[in-house]
Structure 1
Amino acid sequence: MFSVDIILAFITASTLLAFAPGPDNIFVLTQSAMNGPRAGILITLGLCTGLIVHTLAVAAGVAAIFQVSAMAFTALKVVGAAYLLYLAWGAFRADAQAIDTENGRRLSNAAFYRRGIIMNITNPKVAIFFLAFLPQFTHPETANVSLQVFALGAVFMLVSLLCFSLIAMLSGALSQLLRRSPEAQTRLNRLAGGVFAILAVKLVTSER
């Protein structure tokens, strides 16, 4: 279906994109630093699950709707920005002892996983990016385009999983040090809240 050259080029491009500063990897980095590498990896799994949705959308042509419909694009990005602001508010309010809690309850694995999914699927730019990026590596004359999109989406998810997990492990190591310093924890909470707020503003003001 794909030549070795095409696959290598796609993996290289996907790796560079995974490490380039963006909402998803910054989200993994801050959450891992706040809550440990386990949280970061669970969020990464959620983000990759969201990529499945975007891959299906591209294969089905649904992502094109966000490219041509200003209302659909705006509605989804407002939802995503609202969720980021919700996380920012929680981070600003959190004290040093509640670094990985929500409403007084310790966050479960499922809660971190859900954060990743919501973060990814409420960003319409991911769908548009997939719509613009994946087809560049397809060849209609060699195989069904939808199957090629599924295959490329799977490779992109694997690359993202590996790259984001590495980010989670490296930044998550900081959480052990931060837990020994309540003051550092509080500052990190405020910093994370600021990052979430900035990402929300960036998302809601983004253009197609």
Structure 2
Amino acid sequence: MISAEFLVTSLIVVLVPGTGVIFTVSTGITQGRKASFYAALGCTAGIIPHLAATILGLAAVMHTGALAFQTLKYAGVAYLLYIAYGTWRDTSVFALDSVSPRSTALSLVVKAFMLNILNPKLTIFFLAFLPQFVTPGAAGSLPQLLLLSGVFMAMTFVVFVVYGLLANAFRTTVITSEPVQAWLRRSFAAAFAGLGAHLAFSEK
């Protein structure tokens, strides 16, 4: 069940840069180490509904129900484009010694949570991914799925925290260069917009 194959595959999946990674990295650079922790927490929490849908069998319904999939997909596209627009328009200067963070812990968690929960591809991914590691004939698949899900979430959180810490380590370099700040802001905005476009044109 918790095999080397599962751990390696999960690690590769988590390491591949996606919406959550980009958001956590951008938060680590712009708002610091603690903020990136909350971003990682929100992104990890955003996995829970998709795992729950998989475990409860709702993913199969979404997989066959085009309307449900398309509705959730375009809600995700709209949210990604909203984040891209907000990032592009944000012209405030990054600062190391802010009196208070620009975003509260709750707002960061909620924003990160929404980024992941509005990605229907995650539900389809877990539907295809998790069952491969359930041991046939074992006493119940539900405990196995819960354990696999817990391990995947723990791995996601740890990797995202490391991404945030690495991003924070480069904050000083970024903050001392306005051109670098502008380039990063536009790169993050373009990345969010690109992810939104990819999701919009993706098939089931």
TM-score by length of 2: 0.90
Matched, 1:106 2:122: no
Q: Deviations over 1:108-150 (max 9, x none)?
A: 1111111111011100000110010001000241121122111
Q: Considering only aligned residues, what root-mean-square deviation do their CA atoms show, in Å?
A: 1.9
Q: Where does structure 1 lack aligned partners over 5 or more consecutive residues?
A: none
Q: Deviations over 1:60-84 (max 9, x none)?
A: 1111122111111111111111111
Matched, 1:59 2:55: yes
Corresponding residue for residue 68 of structure 1: 64
Displacement after TM superposition at 1:167 (Å): 1.1
Q: 1:99 to 1:127 in 2, by over 3 A?
A: farther
Alignment: residue pair count? 200
Q: Distance in 2 between matches of 1:8 and 1:106?
A: 41
Q: Where does structure 2 lack aligned partners over 5 or more consecutive residues?
A: none
Q: Indicate which of 4, 8, 15 corresponds to 1:12.
A: 8
Corresponding residue for residue 47 of structure 1: 43
The answer to whether the Cα contact below 8 Å between 1:96 and 1:182 also exists between their aligned partners in 2 is no
Displacement after TM superposition at 1:182 (Å): 2.9
The answer to whether the Cα contact below 8 Å between 2:10 and 2:152 also exists between their aligned partners in 1 is yes
Q: Indicate which of 78, 87, 102 corresponds to 1:82.
A: 78
Matched, 1:193 2:200: no
Q: 1:189 to 1:151 in 2, by over 3 A?
A: same
Q: Distance in 1 between matches of 2:21 and 2:94?
A: 23
Percent sequence identity is 34
The runs of at least 4 aligned residues of structure 1 exceeding 6 Å deviation read: none
Q: Distance in 2 between matches of 1:59 and 1:140?
A: 16
The answer to whether the Cα contact below 8 Å between 1:28 and 1:164 also exists between their aligned partners in 2 is yes
What secondary structure is seen at the aligned counterpart in 2 of 1:21?
Answer: coil
The answer to whether the Cα contact below 8 Å between 1:41 and 1:168 also exists between their aligned partners in 2 is yes
The answer to whether the Cα contact below 8 Å between 2:19 and 2:116 also exists between their aligned partners in 1 is no
Q: Distance in 2 between matches of 1:99 and 1:57?
A: 40
